[in-house]
Amino acid sequence: MNIEIKKIIIKNFKSIKNITLNINDLIVMVGKNGSGKTNIIEAINFNKVLFKPEPIKSPFTKWWGYSNLVYNHNIEEPISFSFNFTVDGHKLFYEYDIMDNNGLPNFISEHIVIENYVDILREGSKVEIKHLDNAIEKLSKTDFGNIQYLNIDEAEIFSKIKKTQYINDISTNQSIISMTLVGSSMNAGGSGISRLNINRNMGTQNFFDMKNYIIVASPILKPDNKNMYNNLADFVFFSGLRNIFNNIIAAGPIDYKAIKNRVPVAGPSLISEDGSGLVRMLYQYFLKNRSLPELVENGIKTFFPGWELNFEAMPDGTVTLVVKYGDGYFYPPNLPLGFYKLIMVLELIEQKPELLIIDEIENSFHEKMIEYILDAISARGIKTIISTHSPMVVDLVDLKNILIVKMVNNQTKVERISNPRRKAESLIKEGITPSESLLYGGIDH
C-alpha cells in the first residue's frame, strides 16, 4: 500500500492563524527564533496525540490546556486541520474542527471526501453520508453477484447508496475515524462495498442492529502483505487513517538521562521525540535478527569506525547498550550525544514513517553526518520536515526545499522561494551562498 501526505492546512494553532504546507519530499524550515517553526512541528504532532490508539482522556494536557494551544488564547474558537492524502493513487481528504469540553476533545465538525465516491460530513453529533452522482451511476450498472457477506440484499444496498444516510447522536468527544466499528465488505465491478456499524457513544452495540449500519462505496485497494484493508472506506474507518497520524515520527532534543539509564526489556517498541525507547527498540530488534538495523550498522561503521554496539541485559529485566572498542568497553555515561542522536535518527528512517520531522537537525551533528542523513532520507523516499538555524544545512539543500517562516503581526506565515533555480544561479554569479542571503541578508524570494 502506497500512502502519501500531500498537503496540510493548519488553522488557529498557537501562533498559526492559517498556513498551508504542501508536503514535497523535503521541507527545510528556516526562520528567526520565535517565528513559529516549533509551533508548526507541534501542530503536526498534536494529531498524533489526538489519534493515538489508546482512548483519549485529554489531548490538551501536554500543553497545559486548550487555551495554550488555540490562537490568541481564544477558547471560543476551534483549532482546525485539513489533510490531503493519496492511498494507492486514490485521493482522500480529511478535515476537522476541534474545541475543548472540560479537558476532553470536542469535535465540532469533520469532513471526509473519497474522490469520485462519497462525501461524509459531521456537524456536532450528526453525520451525513452522501454518495456522489458518478459513483451512484457506476454502481447502478454493477452486478453484485454474491453479497452474502454483507448480510443484506442488493436492493438495500442501492437504497442506502442513492439517498443521504444519517448517523445521529454521535458522541462529540470522539472522532468518526476513532469510533469502534464492526462490519464487512465485498468487491463488485471495480468498487468496494462496506457495511459498517457505528459505535455511537463508545458503548456495546449489536452488529446486527439495522438502525445503526451504513453502506459506503469506495475504491478497491491493492492487496499486499501489509495491507489489511479491502477498500478505502475500510481504511478510513478501521484505523488506517488514524495509523497515518501515528506513523508521523519526530526527533527532537534528546533526553540524555533517559537514554543512558537502564530500561525495561519489556515494553512498546516506540521511540519518543526525546529518544526514550531507543535502547529497547534496538535490543528487541537485535534479539529477533541477531544484528542491528542496516542503516544503524552502516552509520556506526562510517562515523565511529571500530565501535561495536552491544547490549547488557540484567537479571532484573533491564538492558543498556555498551560499546566495545578495541579491548575496552564503554557504557552510556562515556558515549557522546552525537552517537545517540545518529543511531536514533537512522533508526527512525529505517522505520519508513509517513512523515519524519527533525527539529534542529544540526544539534550534535557535523556536516558529513547531516549529508549522510539527508542522503538516507532521499534514498528511501521519506517525506521529511526539518527545522534549522544552521547555514551549513541551508547550503546543503536545494532552494526549492526551503520554507521561510516569519512572524508577521503576531501570526506565523510561511512562503517558498519563487523560481528557486533562477535565484540559485543569481546567487552564484554574485558569489553569495544561500545561507548568507537567507539567514543574514534576506533573499528576494
Mind listing the pLDDT tens digit for each residue in 263-273?
888 887 788 88
Question: Is the same domain home to 283 and 163?
Answer: no
Could you tell me the CA-to-CA distances from 175 to 77, 165, 198 in Å, in that order? 18, 18, 12
Number of domains in the chain: 2
Return the pLDDT at 196: 83
- Strand (E) or helix (H) holding 111: strand 104-114
Return the pLDDT at 406: 94
Domain presence at residue 372: yes
192: which 3 cell numbers? 468496494
Q: How confident is the model at residue 257 (pLDDT cuts 50, 70, 90)?
A: confident
DSSP code at position 58: -
Least confident segment among 145-149, 316-320, 349-353: 145-149
Residue 156: pLDDT above 70?
yes
Residue 149: pLDDT above 60?
no
In this prediction, residues 83-111 reach a mean pLDDT of 95
Residue 245: pLDDT above 70?
yes
Q: How confident is the model at residue 97 (pLDDT cuts 50, 70, 90)?
A: very high
Q: How confident is the model at residue 39 (pLDDT cuts 50, 70, 90)?
A: very high
Sheet holding 90-101, edge to edge: 16-22, 3-13, 79-87, 90-101, 104-114, 118-123, 126-131, 165-167
Per-residue pLDDT tens digits for 198-222: 766 655 455 455 556 888 999 999 8
Question: Is the same domain home to 162 and 26?
Answer: yes
More confidently predicted of 44 and 197 = 44
Domain presence at residue 276: yes
CB burial readout 61-91, b (16+ within 10 A) else e: eeeeebeebbbeeeeeebbbbbbbbebbebe
Return the pLDDT at 405: 95
Alpha helices in 8-111 (DSSP H): 37-50
Question: Is the same domain home to 201 and 149?
Answer: yes
In this prediction, residues 192-203 reach a mean pLDDT of 72
- Of residues 222, 251, 435, 211, the one with CA closest to residue 340: 251
Please report, as a single letter, which amino acid is at residue 93. Answer: F
**Beta-sheet strands, E only, within 273-422:** 307-313, 318-325, 328-330, 355-359, 384-388, 402-408, 411-416
Question: Is the same domain home to 202 and 111?
Answer: yes
Return the pLDDT at 52: 85
Please give the Cα distance from 74 to 283 (Å, whole number): 46
CB of 357 within 8 A of CB of 245?
Answer: no
- Of residues 88, 76, 147, 148, the one with CA closest to residue 115: 88
More confidently predicted of 276 and 38 = 38
Torsion 151-139-199-166 (CA) sign: negative
Mean pLDDT of the chain: 88
Q: Residue 430, exposed/middle/buried by CB under 10 A (0-12, 13-18, 19+)? A: exposed
CB of 14 within 8 A of CB of 325?
Answer: no
- Of residues 25, 6, 83, the one with CA closest to residue 50: 83
Question: Is the same domain home to 295 and 239?
Answer: no
Structural domain of 295: 248-397
In this prediction, residues 308-314 reach a mean pLDDT of 93
CB burial readout 391-420, b (16+ within 10 A) else e: bebbebbebebbbbbeeeeeebbbebbeeb
Per-residue pLDDT tens digits for 389-409: 999 999 999 999 999 999 999
Return the pLDDT at 147: 59
Percent of the chain topping pLDDT 70: 91
Domain presence at residue 403: no
Residue 282: pLDDT above 80?
yes
Domain presence at residue 440: no
Question: Is the same domain home to 25 and 169?
Answer: yes
In this prediction, residues 75-103 reach a mean pLDDT of 96
CB of 29 within 8 A of CB of 37?
Answer: yes
Return the pLDDT at 212: 65
Please give the Cα distance from 401 to 396 (Å, whole number): 11
Please give the Cα distance from 168 to 271 (Å, whole number): 39
Return the pLDDT at 145: 63
Return the pLDDT at 207: 47
Of 246, 274, 307, at which residue does a domain stop? Answer: 246
Question: Is the same domain home to 383 and 291?
Answer: yes
Return the pLDDT at 6: 96
Q: What is the dihedral of CA 353, 354, 355, 356, to 10 degrees?
A: 10
Least confident segment among 192-206, 309-323, 409-423: 192-206
What φ, ψ does residue 408 adopt, rounded to 5°?
-125, 115
Please report, as a single letter, which amino acid is at residue 102. Answer: N
Residue 423: pLDDT above 70?
yes
Question: Is the same domain home to 181 and 225?
Answer: yes
Q: Would you say the pTM of this structure is higher than 0.85?
A: yes
Integer-rounded Cα radius of gyration of the chain: 25
By DSSP bridging, strand 384-388 and strand 355-359 are: parallel
